[in-house]
Chains A and B, each alone.
Chain A
Amino acid sequence: MASINLNTVVKRYGKTEVVHGINLDIAHNEFVVLVGPSGCGKSTTLRMIAGLEDISGGEIRIGDVLVNDLPPRKRNISMVFQNYALYPHMSVRENLGFGLKIAKRPPDEIVRRVDEAADILGLTELMERTPAELSGGQRQRVAMGRAIVRQPGAFLFDEPLSNLDAKLRVQMRTEIKKLHQKVKTTVVYVTHDQVEAMTLADRIVVMKDGHIEQVGTPMEVFNHPVNTFVASFIGSPPMNLVPARIAGGEVVLADDTRLPVPGRLAGRVTDGQEVILGIRPDDMTPVGHGIHDSGEGAMLSLPVELAELLGTETLIYTRLAGQEAQGKMFDPRDVEPGEVLEFRVALDKVHLFDAGTGRSVRLD
């Protein structure tokens, strides 16, 4: 059991710096998810924590021990790799028990702990098979079993679900969540899937180009994104972002559409400021035609370009001041392309970002 602290951690490959001095404190037993687009340095950061990559600058502590110069085996961590990294020449049982065998645990203890982990993960039937004889999902479970058997201070996961099909991915996601509730341990989990991040994390760390953009609980990151990058990255479908200008207490779009500046942001903007208006599709809902209207917020008349029925809701593709935008219909009915709908915008949930810096005006 351990906390993990990163203090201005830098990673350079030759002359190119790929992680630029990041700071992060992960509490004991916390489930932290590193999320970000491909190439942003998530794996590199995780591998520095694991000790598989040298740290070019800064300090990493695990359980208050400075680990910069410790090899992986002395860091008391387990890691689950994207393509499982099972030992191909060993049976499932040997794979699970390998770490304990290396640690010279007594044989009866190894058997007991391996059986226990196999039981938790439903591997009991597969113990004598080799990895080549397992399905993707089963290999994934063996990889997790191998990690939990050792009862380490922290688990590190690098995109463990990305090689599974959609259905299995959802299933394993829940299993990981349950596992964390059962085996309370610090977890650092890397993914580029924001849904995984939202559902699993106690706290989300959003990364971009080797920087941390925002750290917060899933709700904080979703409801109060600090900049346009986080706003567009977290949430599916992504937030609509439309350039605009502040004039006379109103947000004026390129086509002269006007929305009042939300009350809570009123003091945060100045006349003439270039901004980016952010509206989540969930907060832009058509009214009329028998669909209930809450009666609050501003109205926009927009033409339907395409409607995507998702079951309990319909996603509506439209155009807002020349920009592609999406709205959501929560009480679906058939809509025709070209039809003009009245969208109600929930003003209290609208975001404004400074056009120059991309930062939320809430923070200035």
Chain B
Amino acid sequence: MRWRAEKHTPFLLLSPAILTILFVVAIPLAFSLYTSMTPYKLTKPDTINTFVGLRNYVRLFSDDKFWWAFGRTILFLAVALNLEFILGLGIALLINRITWGQRTLRTMMMFPMMFSPILVGFQFKYIFNDNIGILNNALQALGITDGSIAWLVDKPLGMISIITAEVWMSTSVFAILLLAGLFAMPRDPLEAAKVDGCNPWQVFRHITLPFLMPFAFIAMTIRSLDVARAYDIVDVMTGGGPAGRTEVLWTLIARVGYDNSKMGEANAMAYVSTLLSVAFTYYFFTKLVAARRYMGGAE
């Protein structure tokens, strides 16, 4: 009977992890997948028993509002992630240069990550408020503008304000990982490149940047997994409004699901949004794996 015990031991030992994943991930996922195929309404619990197949999805895909939110989400992701990468890289390069007070700066840099997105949302809501916001206040005090600018209401400005808040909150993820990359960077190839004829920009472009890309991909992977945290920011700052100008998938899902209590349709959207996130994650992860291949055993 021994072989039997041995065969089952690994599963036994892993059972806490397996159970946790089952209850926390697999079952909710399966449940929401199922409800996305029902006309489930929170106000009419019985509707959960009606199976309608892909009808919710078909309806979504022919809905302009959904596609606008979808497009805005992609735009939001693309702009925010790229900005965070560029700013994070800049910050990491600067901090890497500093020899005095580096530890303090490194810690300070992490502060934005410690805020909950809701707080960040409120903070920027007050900064950008058209009546009492400090941004308008400052602009007027400096005489740059006379009227107040409706940062959170205006069409492009609304999106820009939200992206600013998101970038403020998450740039440090990039900065920290890229800084770790810079610390791990071997000095020799940089010197070899200098001797090989590179000016400082060429050294950065041909040696430093390729070396940092895996770290950037790690950051991108992490960010595309948790980027939905930005829901709180959007919700607090504009709530997706006014008139849906800043509506992204996440706010649309919440509105349809809770305000309109159409849980089935909301879940269908949530599935699309999850797949989108998985697609981004997968894309960056493959880039990461490809980039890591050469980092392998090379000194």
Q: Which residues of A contact B (CB under 8 A)?
A: 50-52, 71-73, 77-79, 81, 83-89, 98-99, 102-103, 130-132, 146, 150
Q: How far is the CB of A137 from chain B (nearest CB, A)?
A: 14
Q: What is the chain A residue whose CB lies nearest that of B298?
A: A88
B197 at the A/B interface (Cβ < 8 Å)?
Answer: yes
Q: Which residue of A lies closest to B191 (CB)?
A: A52
Whether the Cβ atoms of A102 and B192 lie closer than 8 Å is no
Of B90-98, B198-206, B221-229, the segment with at least 4 beta carbons within 8 Å of chain A is: B198-206
Contact of B192 (CB < 8 Å), options: A51, A85, A89, A132: A85
Known A-B contacts A81-B188, A132-B297, A132-B298; the reply to A89 vs B211 at CB < 8 A is: yes
Whether the Cβ atoms of B196 and A86 lie closer than 8 Å is no
> Are B195 and A73 neighbours in the complex by a CB distance under 8 Å?
yes
Interface of B is mostly: helix
State which size class the interface on B falls in: 20 to 34
How many angstroms between the C-alpha atoms of A88 and B210 in the bound complex?
Answer: 9
The answer to the question of B59 belonging to the interface, with a C-beta cut-off of 8 Å to chain A, is no
Which 4 A-B pairs have CB atoms at the shortest separation, nearest pair first? A85-B188, A88-B298, A99-B196, A132-B296
The 8 Å CB contact of B196, one of A51, A84, A131, A150, is A150
B295 at the interface (CB under 8 A from A): yes
Report B-chain residues with C-beta under 8 Å of the C-beta of A87. Answer: 189, 192-193, 206-207
> How many residue-residue contacts, CB under 8 A, span A and B?
79
Query: Which residues from A are CB-within-8-Å of B191?
Result: 52, 72, 79, 81, 85
Q: Which of B188, B195, B291, B299 has the most chain A CB atoms inside 10 A of its CB?
A: B195
Whether A73 lies near B198 (C-beta < 8 A) is: yes
Q: In the docked arrangement, what's the CA distance between A52 and B297, Å?
A: 26
Task: List CB contacts (< 8 Å) of B163-211 with chain A.
Answer: 186, 188-189, 191-199, 202, 206-207, 210-211
Residue B23 interfacial (CB < 8 Å): no
Q: List 20 A-B contacts (CB under 8 A).
A: A50-B195, A51-B195, A52-B194, A71-B199, A72-B194, A79-B191, A81-B188, A83-B299, A85-B188, A85-B189, A85-B191, A85-B192, A87-B206, A98-B193, A99-B197, A102-B196, A102-B198, A132-B293, A132-B296, A150-B196
Please name the residue on chain B nearest to A136 by beta carbon. Answer: B299
| B294 in contact (CB, < 8 A) | yes
Cα distance A98–B207 in the bound complex, in angstroms: 11
Quote the shortest CB–CB distance from B2 to chain A (angstroms): 43
Q: Which residues of A have CB within 8 Å of B296?
A: 132
Q: In the complex, how many angstroms separate the beta carbon of A75 from the nearest chain B beta carbon?
A: 8
A88–B295 Cα distance when bound, in Å, is: 6
Residue of A nearest to B214 (CB): A89
CB pair B195–A72 under 8 Å, yes or no, is yes
Chain B: minimal CB distance from A160 (Å): 12
Bound Cα distance from A142 to B191, whole angstroms:
16
Report the nearest A residue to B209, measured CB to CB: A89
